[in-house]
Amino acid sequence: MKTIHIDALGKPCPLPVIETKKAIQKLPAEGGDIIVLVDNEVAIKNITKMANGNGYTVDSKTEGDGFAVTVTVTPQATAEKPKTGAVICFSRNVMGEGDDTLGKNLMKTYIYSLTEITTPPEQLFFYNGGAFLTNKDSDVLEDLKTLEAKGTQISTCGACLDFYEIKDQLAIGDITNMFTITEVMNQAEKTIIL
């Protein structure tokens, strides 16, 4: 494994990160280690953020008056596979079995949490009782709008909207069919069914 040493002592941020990124570009395909000497905690944090964001492992220890931060780059990490979000299916308007008031709150919290995670879901499907979550009186509508703004595709089952006679109340996303739902679930890297 190739190791590249960088002396970033006394260099203001973001120079330590820039020098680390530059060294990573110079690593061969099999990866390697970058050991960066820095003299402040902020530099460690910034290098760590960059490393985590790219899927590299990072480790730091004190060395002399400063710190040695080791960033390990492996071939999988350098391959940079685009991270795709999950496909999530909502089959009910509550989360879990048991008390429906609790279930409703859980669902609200879950959808809010989806707006906070780093990689937003790719696609949300709403069918059967889940079809009520996308209508105009739904209390998760605002969070769904946030997700939609982040690029999440939101689709509700047309047959379900017809069955419950709530098609005219649909307030977000598009109307989909079983073929699309099957196709997308089949191709998804990860499907979550609630």
Binding site for other proteins (CB under 8 A): 10-15, 17-19, 21-22, 25
Which stretches within the chain are classed as H helix?
Answer: 15-26, 41-53, 75-79, 100-116, 141-149, 158-163, 178-187
Report the C-alpha gap between 111 and 107 in whole angstroms. 6
Q: Which residue, 13 or 106, is less far from other proteins as judged by CB? A: 13
Q: Which residue, 21 or 167, is less far from other proteins as judged by CB? A: 21
Q: Which residue, 17 or 133, is less far from other proteins as judged by CB? A: 17
Contact 123, 152 (CB under 8 A): yes
Write down the least CB distance from residue 187 to other proteins, Å. Answer: 24
Write down the least CB distance from residue 136 to other proteins, Å. Answer: 28
Report the C-alpha gap between 115 and 98 in whole angstroms. 25
Q: Which residue, 18 or 185, is less far from other proteins as judged by CB? A: 18
Report the C-alpha gap between 174 and 151 in whole angstroms. 14
Write down the least CB distance from residue 19 to other proteins, Å. Answer: 7
Write down the least CB distance from residue 10 to other proteins, Å. Answer: 7
Partners of 175 in beta bridges = 156
